[in-house]
Amino acid sequence: AQSVTQPDIHITVSEGASLELRCNYSYGATPYLFWYVQSPGQGLQLLLKYFSGDTLVQGIKGFEAEFKRSQSSFNLRKPSVHWSDAAEYFCAVGAYSGGGADGLTFGKGTHLIIQP
Amino acid sequence: DTGVSQNPRHKITKRGQNVTFRCDPISEHNRLYWYRQTLGQGPEFLTYFQNEAQLEKSRLLSDRFSAERPKGSFSTLEIQRTEQGDSAMYLCASRFGKGTEAFFGQGTRLTVV
């Protein structure tokens, strides 16, 4: 069965500093990988996705993530965070084939706190 | 707004009552998903439709839960005889098909008192 681990429950970063959120996945085939962001009481917004090809993917709001198959990781990075980046971040893995087993498996999330 | 729409946004109900939530996906999306998210956790997959066919159900979907998508457009999720453990955010998502990402609605927050 597929699984996602986000080892950091909370991360505190100063505004303007760089950010890296960790994500490790377990999946038997080629995965689809995603990072979503959730503000309090809101739904999920897609930041970026990896399906195939270039292992460094660019997303919205200045985020990027790198797929490393050998490490089963898909870490999210941003060179300089803004106070508006404070939110909950979720890594997710999905089936490549898009067949019957089609839902996403999410990690438990990392809560990002931005210090002024 | 052409995003995924969920109604109501909030629902407070007494234990034992039935509740129904609605999800309107993005119009051309044929795949629709329901997830449940409890406090401090990531969303957990409940069920999935391709057009009107319910193709997969999680073990989390007890027999008190039922979902429909009668014409392959909007979907409803009904919870019968609600329990306090059903209190959660219920998220709906849709996507067009293989190789595309899912778009999520704002969710329905259910509180069972």
Model confidence pLDDT, tens digit, residues B29-61: 999 999 999 998 999 999 999 999 998 888 888
Higher pLDDT: B4 or A41? It is B4
B31 φ/ψ angles, rounded to the nearest 5 degrees: -110, 135
* Mean local confidence (pLDDT), A3-13: 96
Neighbours of B16 (CB within 10 A): 10
Residue A103 to residue B106, Cβ atoms within 8 A: no
Residue A43 to residue B35, Cβ atoms within 8 A: no
Distance from the A88 Cα atom to the nearest Cα atom in chain B, whole angstroms: 9
As a whole number of angstroms, the distance between CA B89 and CA B59 comes to: 18
Higher pLDDT: A96 or B26? It is B26
* Mean local confidence (pLDDT), A86-103: 75
B51 interfaces chain A, CB cutoff of 8 Å: no
DSSP A57: E
Confidence of residue B1 (pLDDT cuts 50, 70, 90): low
Residue A104 to residue B31, Cβ atoms within 8 A: no
- Residues in chain B with CB shorter than 8 Å from the CB of A42 are 106-107
Residue A98 to residue B35, Cβ atoms within 8 A: no
Q: Label residue A78 exposed, middle or buried (CB < 10 Å: 0-12, 13-18, 19+).
A: buried
pLDDT of residue A90: 97
Q: Indicate if the pLDDT at residue A102 is higher than 60.
A: yes
Q: Indicate if the pLDDT at residue B2 is higher than 80.
A: no
- Residues in chain A with CB shorter than 8 Å from the CB of B101 are 34, 46, 49
DSSP A76: E
Q: Indicate if the pLDDT at residue A23 is higher than 80.
A: yes
As a whole number of angstroms, the distance between CA B72 and CA A3 comes to: 30
Chain B stretch 11-40, residues whose beta carbon is closer than 8 A to a beta carbon of chain A: 31, 33, 35, 40
Q: Indicate if the pLDDT at residue B17 is higher than 90.
A: yes
